[in-house]
Amino acid sequence: MDTPATTATLADVRCFLLDMDGTFYLGDHLLEGALDFIDTLRQQGKDFVFLTNNSSKHRRMYAEKITRLGLPIPEEKVFTSGEATAIYLKKHHPTARIYLAGTPALEEEFRTHGFTLTDQDPQMVVLGFDTTLTYAKLWKLCDLVRAGLPYIATHPDLNCPTENGFMPDIGAMIAFIKASTGREPDLIVGKPNRLIVDALADKLNLPLHALAMIGDRLYTDIALGQTAGILTCLVLSGETTRRDLEGSPYQPAYVFDHLGAVAEFLKQTQKDHA
């Protein structure tokens, strides 16, 4: 474990924002110390919310999976970039007709928020992590982006970790669209955008300094330390290695091998304070 040079400490954190893929689990297996970490938080009176950039699934699906893996939680304990995007657009463009490139689960999320999804004269384009992506979808999306419609992406992740390596994530799709149209998204809602953290802070009624992000990606999870001004912890159980830290503009306050090591650090910190 590496400790920070700042005066901020994990002992001050009241709610941990937890990434899932590569942090809490990989595939259908919990990562080392995952349940011990949650037990430690509960024993110390701290809270947690699963915060994921993966917009391919509804939060209910994540809650069901985490429950099946051994941690029963309600869906309110999960906040996705897909939900954050729908909330943002509901606030700023409540009547917009949207062309959505996303999974059926993301389509459900948007329809739940009252949006009309259409490929006929839409007013804006939304790109999610679409594991049902087809060439026809990409072609249509590029036509609309090239025509100048507002273009929103749920998050920027290049890859999604799996038990057997990595699968291309939305960042690869964004690169495809840029190569064809010359345009980047006008707005990216998920990590490292501060928007997703502000929304959660309001929902939890907590100040930003009471939050900490734990994740495995430097350019999303750890970048929140700069964009949102919150404490960040990198776990080396997913995408990032120690070598990746060298020269990276995104430096975490803490580095741990896995969530179990975070739990041990919190326990020791409590003993020291006692």
Q: pLDDT tens-digit profile of 37-70? A: 999 999 999 999 999 999 999 999 999 999 999 9
Residue 131 lies in a domain: yes
Residue 62 lies in a domain: no
Within 10 angstroms of residue 247's Cβ, the number of other Cβ atoms is 6
User: Nearest Cα to 155, choosing from 185, 135, 119, 113?
Assistant: 185
Total domains in the fold of the chain: 2
User: Residue 231 sits in a domain of what CATH number?
Assistant: 3.40.50.1000
User: What whole-number distance in Å separates Cα of residue 175 and Cα of residue 146?
Assistant: 14
Residue 69 lies in a domain: no
Final residue in a domain of this structure, among 188, 212, 247? 188
Q: What is the largest CA-CA distance in the chain?
A: 64
pLDDT value, residue 268: 93
The torsion of the CA quartet 224, 30, 154, 56, rounded to 10 degrees, works out to 180
Residue 47 lies in a domain: yes
Residue 3 lies in a domain: no
164 with 142, same domain? Answer: yes
Query: Which residue in this structure is represented by tokens 């051994």?
Result: 70
Domain that holds residue 14: 10-53+192-273
203 with 269, same domain? Answer: yes
102 with 174, same domain? Answer: yes
269 with 246, same domain? Answer: yes
Final residue in a domain of this structure, among 137, 159, 188? 188
Final residue in a domain of this structure, among 188, 223, 246? 188
103 with 182, same domain? Answer: yes
175 with 226, same domain? Answer: no
129 with 177, same domain? Answer: yes
210 with 265, same domain? Answer: yes
User: What whole-number distance in Å separates Cα of residue 220 and Cα of residue 128?
Assistant: 16
Residue 241 lies in a domain: yes
116 with 172, same domain? Answer: yes
pLDDT value, residue 1: 60
Positions in the chain whose pLDDT score sits under 70: 1-8
Specify the pTM.
Answer: 0.85
Residue 67 lies in a domain: no
Residue 147 lies in a domain: yes
